[in-house]
Amino acid sequence: MADSTTWWLLAGAAVAVELLTGTFYLLMLGVGMAAGALAAMAGAGSTTQLVVAAVVGGGTVAAWHVVRRRRFATPAGVSTNFNLDAGEPVQVDAWAADNTASVRYRGTLWTAVPVGGTPQGSGLHRVREVDGTRLVVEKV
């Protein structure tokens, strides 16, 4: 079996496992394995194929890690393990006398309460957590 065939089979297996598990990093490693296959098709030696696959695969994993950290960052102290709404933006137009506000979030009206109990003004806020049917928000 040709070296390029082995690389393509490995890349296909990585993509298949990624589809089953949802681990995007495996897709990036599959890209590295595809680069190894292209290096094999270009006539590179085994060592060069491994280096190309490692550099491209590792580089794409590192790049995705940086993009994910920057784009999907949540505020410090907020755990999104069980709270998928944490970090989402909401617009608070005005606070009521009882320190609550009605905000539109996910297509419906929610009652928002400020972190610490004291409103910090109107404008853009970030969901800190969901407490029952209320969004606990903080000023951005």
| Residue 121 belongs to domain with CATH number | 2.40.50.140
Rounded-to-integer distance, Cα 29 and Cα 19, Å = 13
**Based on the domain organization, do 51 and 101 belong to the same domain?**
no
**Based on the domain organization, do 54 and 7 belong to the same domain?**
yes
Rounded-to-integer distance, Cα 55 and Cα 108, Å = 47
Residue 67 lies in a domain: yes
Its domain, for residue 57, covers: 3-71
Number of domains the chain contains? 2
Residue 24 lies in a domain: yes
CA distances, 120 to each of 53, 94, 131, 132, 139 (Å): 51, 11, 19, 22, 6
Residue 95 lies in a domain: yes
Query: In the prediction, which pLDDT does 80 show?
Result: 52
**Based on the domain organization, do 12 and 47 belong to the same domain?**
yes
**Based on the domain organization, do 23 and 55 belong to the same domain?**
yes
**Based on the domain organization, do 16 and 65 belong to the same domain?**
yes
Query: Would you give per-residue pLDDT tens digits along the chain (140 residues)?
Result: 889 999 999 999 999 999 998 888 899 999 999 999 999 999 999 999 999 999 999 999 999 888 887 776 655 555 555 667 888 899 999 999 898 999 999 888 999 999 887 788 889 999 988 888 899 999 88
Rounded-to-integer distance, Cα 72 and Cα 23, Å = 16
Residue 94 lies in a domain: yes
CA diameter of the chain? 75
